[in-house]
Amino acid sequence: MASLGRILISLGALLLVGGGILLFADQLGLPLGRLPGDIAVRGKNVSFYAPIATCLVLSVLLSLISWLVNHFRR
């Protein structure tokens, strides 16, 4: 059970860092959420937002980080 606790604490810390980066993305010059390919439709009473390009960029970055961590762990 101790290893599960460590995993949960690590995931929480990772989420905290990721949230901080997203909060300060505008100040860092990262246009996350406003990339070409992000779909935003605003109607009279309804709005729809699908951050497709942002999700793809974040997926590639997280995959690269995961690969690097696993590669250098061996």
Question: Cα separations (Å) of 26 from 30, 32, 34, 55, 72?
Answer: 6, 8, 10, 17, 31
Q: Where are the domains of the chain?
A: 1-29, 31-74
Q: What is the pLDDT of residues 34-60, one digit of tens each?
A: 889 999 999 999 999 999 998 998 899
Number of neighbouring beta carbons within 10 Å of residue 33? 14
The more confident residue out of 29 and 57 is 57
The pTM (predicted TM-score) of the whole model is: 0.63
